[in-house]
Amino acid sequence: MKFDFLSESDQAYFIHKASTLVEALPYIRQHSGEIIVIKYGGHAMGDKKLSDSFAKDIGLLKEVGVYPIIVHGGGPQIGERLKSKNISSKFVDGLRVTDKETIKVVEDVLSKDINSEIVQSISSSGGKAIGISGNVNNLIEATKLKLEVNDSDSNIEKIIDIGFVGEPQRLKKEIILDHINKGNIPVIAPLGIDNNQFTYNINADTAAGFIAGELKASKLLLLTDVAGILDNKEKLISSLSVEEAKEIIEKEFISGGMKPKIQTCIDAMKKGVKKSTILDGRIPHSVILELFTEHGIGTQLVSE
């Protein structure tokens, strides 16, 4: 036997490896040739081991015929840079109030520092990544976000001005598709620009969902710092239909931070995205586990 030179434990290890590859094959075929948009951020981006495993995952996706598009966040890094410059941060409904001084820092951190780091990490793993900033060449045209909040004293909805925070309106799809056709892996900084050439900070989840919807992506993945959507007993919900997601988003046990993620998935699927998953980016190789294993991880939203 060819395995005679291996111990029984080594044989079992390699057999398990082969079985894993065989199990992945139908899922590789399913996703090959499809666009998958991945929002990357949180601990997954800040931890060296996790960022390395993510980069390898993206390289593997490209090698098996998937067209990955990465949209990254950068909240903690922006916060640290602002703190170093003695610029205070204020948040309204989880969105950073962004004045003229802050937007310069946001643009610098997102489009230069973080974007370059991700591109370099993927490239080091064998992928051909290219950095793109949403506010360059009018890739993402945005308008000023009108944030409505409820005044607790008067119980009246008020529109709050939080500065240069944007809402995406139009996408120059041809720029992204051209890069994909050239074999590149687009890594996109979530910035937008308006008709007056003002730059806007866009929530990374929102930007990823918008891009996925505009490109009619096969799947949207939102990497976060929790297991997925949890029920009222804090147990993971593995799957939801879009209609079920619309109902659960109104439940009290859905925390404030999870609500916009669920809404992002719903909005993307209204535009034609087939499936969306909110998953734990703190798990090594979470992208591969979600896409190429039978049960996947996180909470998957599916169309009826």
| pTM (predicted TM-score) | 0.90
Higher pLDDT, 174 or 12: 174
Amino acid at 245: A
Domain ranges for the chain, please list them: 32-302
Ranges of H-type helices in 64-97:
75-84
As a whole number, mean pLDDT of residues 264-279 equals: 96
pLDDT of 111 above 70: yes
Instruction: Kindly state the helix (H) or strand (E) to which residue 24 belongs, with its residue range.
Output: helix 8-31
> What whole-number percentage of the chain has pLDDT above 70?
93
Q: Any idea which of 2-16, 95-109, 130-144 has the lowest mean pLDDT?
A: 2-16
pLDDT of residue 133: 97
pLDDT of 10 above 90: no
142: closest CA among 185, 96, 93, 192?
Answer: 192
Q: Any idea which of 9-13, 34-38, 133-137, 181-185 has the lowest mean pLDDT?
A: 9-13
139: closest CA among 113, 115, 105?
Answer: 115
pLDDT of residue 70: 98
Q: How confident is the model at residue 106 (pLDDT cuts 50, 70, 90)?
A: very high
Cα separation of the two ends of the chain: 51
Instruction: Kindly state the helix (H) or strand (E) to which residue 68 belongs, with its residue range.
Output: strand 67-72
Provide the mean pLDDT of the chain: 89
pLDDT of residue 152: 55
Q: What is the pLDDT of residues 199-224, one digit of tens each?
A: 999 999 999 999 999 999 999 999 99
For residue 171, how many other CB atoms are within 10 A of its CB?
20
Please report how the helices 204-214 and 258-270 are oriented relative to each other, as an axis angle in degrees rounded to 10.
10
Write down how long the chain is.
304
- 247 strand-pairing partners: none
pLDDT of residue 154: 52
> What whole-number percentage of the chain has pLDDT above 90?
66
At 12, list the tokens. Answer: 């079992």
Which residues fall within 8 angstroms of residue 89, CB to CB, at 6 or more apart? 79, 82, 83, 96, 97, 102
Q: For residues 211 and 188, is the Cβ–Cβ distance under 8 A?
A: yes
Higher pLDDT, 12 or 152: 12
Amino acid at 155: N
Tell me which CATH homologous superfamily contains domain 32-302.
Acetylglutamate kinase-like (3.40.1160.10)
pLDDT of residue 76: 87
pLDDT of residue 1: 47
Q: What is the pLDDT of residues 117-167, one digit of tens each?
A: 999 999 998 889 999 999 999 999 999 998 776 655 555 566 778 899 999
pLDDT of residue 20: 73
Q: For residues 298 and 227, is the Cβ–Cβ distance under 8 A?
A: yes
Q: How confident is the model at residue 57 (pLDDT cuts 50, 70, 90)?
A: very high
Q: How confident is the model at residue 42 (pLDDT cuts 50, 70, 90)?
A: confident
Q: For residues 70 and 185, is the Cβ–Cβ distance under 8 A?
A: yes
pLDDT of residue 89: 84
